[in-house]
């Protein structure tokens, strides 16, 4: 027994030390359990998100293949080369197209053709690869129909927007400004800067300047598409 300690004092200190050691051990075990649970939930969430993206991509790839076959059938129908069963199949396809035109998209992609079409195309392909539905005029516009009405439908049905800001966009052109005026009322709008600065964007629009955005100066279009997709899909899962 240490000098200066009575038997009772020694026993009390020993019990206190034992209680502290037990408390510390229990606290460490609880922290480890919470961390393990958090890591497991995060892993499950990532796995579910990855599965959802792969399933969505598979469905869309299948739809594109069906659309290509239907387009060939349309060409044959124009030449009078289809049978009655094929006529029924073609009617079903045309009905499906009409329904798709009013379906909701995750995002509307706004850009200027003169200096943004290449990056816009890369963003579109990247977003689609991650399972995000995008209204992109290069792919959405149908021949023989009003461009203004189609664009209005795209803007109305999109739940959010991606605005590709380039020097030409910041000049204040008619169509981009019309698109932007509608998109700024959406709950999610992601500015993507290309060959412009955040200062220039803020000078063009105080609202856009206040939104958290991305720049091709720091990320490739595919990286930007992945970041946007993650945010959009997380919103869907919330």
Domain residue ranges of the chain, discontinuous segments joined by +: 104-238
Task: Quote the pLDDT of residue 17.
Answer: 79
**Which is higher by pLDDT, 32 or 212?**
212
The reported pLDDT for the residue numbered 201 is: 96
**Contact indicator for 229, 214 with CB cutoff of 8 Å:** no
d(CA 209, CA 200): 9
Cα–Cα dist 222/216, whole Å: 10
- The topology (CATH level 3) of 104-238 is Rossmann fold (3.40.50)
Per-residue pLDDT band at 34 (split at 50, 70, 90) = confident
Decide: 162 and 110 in contact? Cβ < 8 Å: yes
CA dist 79 → 75, 76, 101, 118, 175 (Å) = 7, 5, 26, 36, 38
d(CA 213, CA 188): 11
Which pLDDT score, from 0 to 100, does residue 83 have?
Answer: 78
State mean pLDDT over 52-66. 56
Average pLDDT score over residue span 106-114: 96
Q: Among 33-47, 58-72, 136-150, 217-231, name the most confident range.
A: 217-231
Is the pLDDT at 220 greater than 80? The verdict is yes
* pTM assigned to the model: 0.59
As a whole number, mean pLDDT of residues 209-225 equals 96
Chain centroid offset of residue 134 CA: 9
d(CA 194, CA 142): 28
Question: Is the pLDDT at 81 greater than 70, yes or no?
Answer: yes
Residue labelled with tokens 């000049």: 171
pLDDT greater than 60 at residue 18 = yes
The DSSP output letter for 167 is: T
Q: Find the mean pLDDT for residues 122-126.
A: 96
- Whole-angstrom CA distances from 63 to 9, 60, 97, 189 are 80, 5, 11, 28
**3-state SS, residue 215:** strand
Q: How far apart are CA 105 and CA 126, in angstroms?
A: 15
Pairwise pLDDT comparison (68 vs 131), residue with the higher score: 131
Q: What is the pLDDT of residue 5?
A: 57
Q: What is the pLDDT of residues 138-185, one digit of tens each?
A: 888 888 888 888 899 999 999 999 999 999 999 988 899 999 999 999
Q: φ and ψ at 109, to 5 degrees?
A: -100, 115
Residue 36 has pLDDT above 80, yes or no: no
Q: What is the pLDDT of residue 142?
A: 85
Q: What is the pLDDT of residue 193?
A: 98
Residue 147 makes CB contacts below 8 A (sequence gap 6+) with 141
């Amino acid at each position: 027994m240490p000098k200066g300690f009575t038997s009772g004092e020694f026993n009390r200190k020993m019990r206190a030390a034992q209680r502290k050691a037990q408390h510390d051990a229990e606290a460490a075990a609880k922290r480890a359990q919470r961390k393990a649970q958090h890591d497991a939930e995060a892993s499950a969430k990532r796995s579910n998100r990855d599965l959802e993206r792969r399933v969505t991509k598979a469905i869309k790839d299948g739809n594109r293949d069906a659309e290509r076959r239907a387009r060939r059938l349309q060409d044959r129908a124009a030449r009078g080369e289809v049978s009655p069963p094929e006529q029924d199949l073609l009617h079903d396809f045309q009905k499906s197209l009409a329904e798709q035109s009013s379906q909701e998209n995750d995002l509307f992609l706004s850009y200027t053709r003169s200096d943004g079409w290449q990056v816009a195309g890369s963003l579109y392909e990247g977003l689609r690869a991650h399972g995000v539905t995008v209204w992109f005029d290069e792919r959405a516009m149908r021949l023989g129909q009003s461009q203004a009405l189609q664009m209005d439908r795209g803007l109305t049905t999109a739940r959010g927007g991606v605005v590709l800001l380039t020097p030409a966009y910041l000049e204040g052109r008619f169509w981009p400004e019309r698109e932007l005026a509608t998109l700024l009322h959406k709950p999610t709008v992601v500015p993507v800067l290309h060959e412009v600065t955040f200062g220039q964007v803020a000078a063009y629009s105080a609202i856009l300047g206040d939104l958290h955005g991305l720049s091709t100066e720091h990320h490739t279009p595919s990286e930007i598409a992945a970041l946007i997709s993650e945010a959009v899909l997380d919103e869907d899962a919330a």
